[in-house]
Amino acid sequence: QKEVEQNSGPLSVPEGAIASLNCTYSDRGSQSFFWYRQYSGKSPELIMSIYSNGDKEDGRFTAQLNKASQYVSLLIRDSQPSDSATYLCAVGENSGGSNYKLTFGKGTLLTVNP
Amino acid sequence: GAVVSQHPSWVICKSGTSVKIECRSLDFQATTMFWYRQFPKQSLMLMATSNEGSKATYEQGVEKDKFLINHASLTLSTLTVTSAHPEDSSFYICSARDLAGGVNEQFFGPGTRLTVL
């Protein structure tokens, strides 16, 4: 059973601070990693995808991947109250033939305080 | 780009009835769509993978005769919850892979909230 672990939080940071969200995964062979944001009552929204070791930056978001440690993180710089949401880490796997699926962590609830 | 729609956004039905949910990729072709279910304060659980023109692949523990999936075209997949019961009340979300836009990225529809009385 492939597992994706996240700290459920809540993680509370002041406005303007850096929020750091962490995720570990069990399958050493995983190649694709994603961060989704989910507001309460809404469906997930893709924020970042990362496939190679190192950092990937997109605006205020930076995803970091360390395959040796089986660890992926998301940094949010200059956090805004509108960033308050649950952040889901997802790991991709080939499930046979052309099938491909994501395994999600339980999510970390982030609260950015004005 | 990569917009996925779902219909209806919410539905309330009596126990024993069947409910059909549609998932459409609006600006891309999706050979593969996925159906998830999310209970309150829990993460998304994959129910099945839907491939255009072939039978769906169900996850362990998901009853294929209860959750009927049809993927008749490259832009439409449907999930029918047959003989729904209160324990089927949940948030059902579909997603689709845009192979042209990114290798394995999935984009989610807005979800359908099902309440079975």
A13-28 tens-digit pLDDT: 999 999 999 999 999 8
The reply to whether residue A102 touches residue B34, judged by beta carbons under 8 angstroms, is yes
Q: Does residue A97 have a pLDDT over 70? A: no
- Pairwise CA distance, residues A113 & A84, whole Å: 9
Q: How large is the average pLDDT for residues A86-105?
A: 82
Query: Do the beta carbons of residue B93 and residue B6 sit within 8 Å?
Result: yes
User: What are A56's two structure tokens?
Assistant: 């990937």
Between B42, B97, B110, which is nearest A100 by CB?
B97
Tokens (6 digits) for A65? 């991947």
On whether any CB of chain B is under 8 Å from the CB of A107, the answer is yes
Contact B57 A106 (CB under 8 A): no
Which residues 15-74 of A are in CB contact (within 8 Å) with B? Answer: 32, 34, 36, 42-46, 49, 51
The pLDDT score that the predictor gives to residue A29 is: 87
CB-CB under 8 Å, B43 with A44: no
Tell me the chain B residues in contact with residue A92 when contact means C-beta distances shorter than 8 Å: 104
Query: Which residues, other chains included, contact B17 with Cβ-Cβ below 8 Å and sequence gap of 6+?
Result: B83, B84
Per-residue pLDDT tens, chain B, 117 aa: give them. Answer: 689 999 999 999 999 999 999 999 998 888 789 999 999 888 899 999 988 888 899 999 999 999 999 988 889 999 999 999 999 999 999 999 876 655 678 899 999 999 999
Q: Is A1 on the interface with B (CB under 8 A)?
A: no
CA-CA distance, A84 to A81, in Å (whole number)? 6
Q: List the 77-106 stretch of A: residues with Cβ below 8 A of B.
A: 88, 92, 95-96, 98-106
For residues B79 and B67, give the distance between their C-alpha atoms in angstroms, rounded to a whole number: 6
CB-CB contact of B104 with A32 (8 Å): yes
CB within 8 Å: B46 and A101? yes
Residues of chain B contacting residue A7, judged by C-beta atoms under 8 Å apart: none
pLDDT in tens, B74-99: 899 999 999 999 999 999 999 998 76
Cβ pair B75, B30 in contact under 8 A: yes
- Measured in angstroms, the CA of B75 and the nearest CA of chain A are apart by 17
Q: Which two tokens stand for residue B2?
A: 């990569």
CA B6 to CA A9: how far, in whole Å?
30
Q: Which two tokens stand for residue B107?
A: 């984009």
